Structure 1
Amino acid sequence: MKFIASICLLLLSFNSMAQKTYQKNYFDDGTLASEGWLLNSKKTDYWKFYHANGTIQREGHFALGKETKYWTYYRHDGTKESEGHYEHGKKHKWWLFYDSNGKINHKCQLKNNQKNGYCLMYKNEKLVAAVKFSEGKKIKTWTDYRSFKKENSLKDLQ
């Protein structure tokens, strides 16, 4: 019986140490700077960060204090700047980048915060060029869709 009581006490103490809390942080002027969940003093789950003018700067998820899953970034005026995936705190997979009018001006495959794969460039929502990268280094550029399609498998764009 003492053994069971000791285990229950131990489990209760672990449970109290692993409490999730909601935290809000503020700029010096009292404006909200960020808000989200903490677990054992590390950011976890969904967070929002704000510009000093009150508009959202970025929003997304954390795991063990590192960015994970899908994130969206915004400019001071509230327009979308970029969005994409994180894995273990590093940009990964496809990222979309927007011009000041909210139109995609390029999208790139990233791995470990570097361009790694294709970057597709747009003007007025039309594909105008493609560039292939390997670990951040440019390998080749195409300026027309026909030559790009001829030399590459469209499966690589997934």
Structure 2
Amino acid sequence: MIFKTLLCLIGFICISQESKTYVREFDASGKLIAEGWQKGSEKEAYWYYYYPSGVVKAKGEYHNDQKNGYWFYYDKTSRLLREGHYKQDQKIDWWIVYRSENQKEKIQYQNNVKEGYGLLYKNEKLIKANRYDQDKLSGSWTSISQFKKDNPNARF
């Protein structure tokens, strides 16, 4: 009896699950601009976006038609511009912005605004620290020892 009930439950779950389809989107000239999985009319799972040249512009995951998880953004030469976390279409947690070949900034986000710290690195060495409150710069330090003194509870 338990086996039959379990089998019926599994069958119901499988039937009620809407299947995913792989979708490709094209511009007016026929060039591929996006591709990924859809569940019904909503984007789901991994998606890729392209420049007209065919180079990847962005890639990341959707859940219920909203960006979720880790995303990557590139320029037209395939150079990584930024990467970071989304939750329900909102930037959250740490994002990395690549300013140049040897300079990057790690920035904390909450609900799509800078909230927390921004750490600027040159040649992988920390050279500046900023603090953001509701997307506004509220402090800046070029002396890391002074930053640590002023922010003893800072956690990265």
Q: TM-score, normalised by structure 2?
A: 0.85
Percent of counterpart pairs with the same letter?
34
- Give unpaired runs (5+ residues) of structure 2: 1-7
1:1-158 maps to which residues of 2 (within 5 A)?
Answer: 11=12, 15=16, 18-101=18-101, 103-153=102-152, 156-157=155-156
Tell me if the contact between 1:56 and 1:74 (Cα under 8 Å) persists in the aligned partners.
Answer: yes
Give the aligned partner of residue 4 of structure 1.
Answer: none
User: 1:126 offset after TM fit, Å?
Assistant: 2.5
Tell me if the contact between 1:69 and 1:87 (Cα under 8 Å) persists in the aligned partners.
Answer: yes
Question: How many aligned positions are there?
Answer: 149
Paired with 2:114 and 2:152, the residues of 1 have a C-alpha distance of 18
User: 1:155 offset after TM fit, Å?
Assistant: 5.4
Task: Note the aligned Cα RMSD (angstroms).
Answer: 2.4
User: 1:107 offset after TM fit, Å?
Assistant: 1.1
The ranges of structure 1 where at least 4 consecutive aligned residues each deviate by more than 3 angstroms after the TM superposition are none
Paired with 1:100 and 1:120, the residues of 2 have a C-alpha distance of 15
Paired with 1:154 and 1:26, the residues of 2 have a C-alpha distance of 50
Tell me if the contact between 2:148 and 2:154 (Cα under 8 Å) persists in the aligned partners.
Answer: no
- Encode CA deviations 1:100-123: one digit per residue, 9 max, x unaligned: 43x442110001111000001123
Paired with 2:57 and 2:153, the residues of 1 have a C-alpha distance of 34
Q: TM-score, normalised by structure 1?
A: 0.84
- Encode CA deviations 1:34-54: one digit per residue, 9 max, x unaligned: 000111200000000011111
State the AA in 2 paired with 1:140: G
- Give unpaired runs (5+ residues) of structure 1: 1-6
Change in CA separation of 1:27 and 1:153 when aligned onto 2, cut-off 3 Å? farther
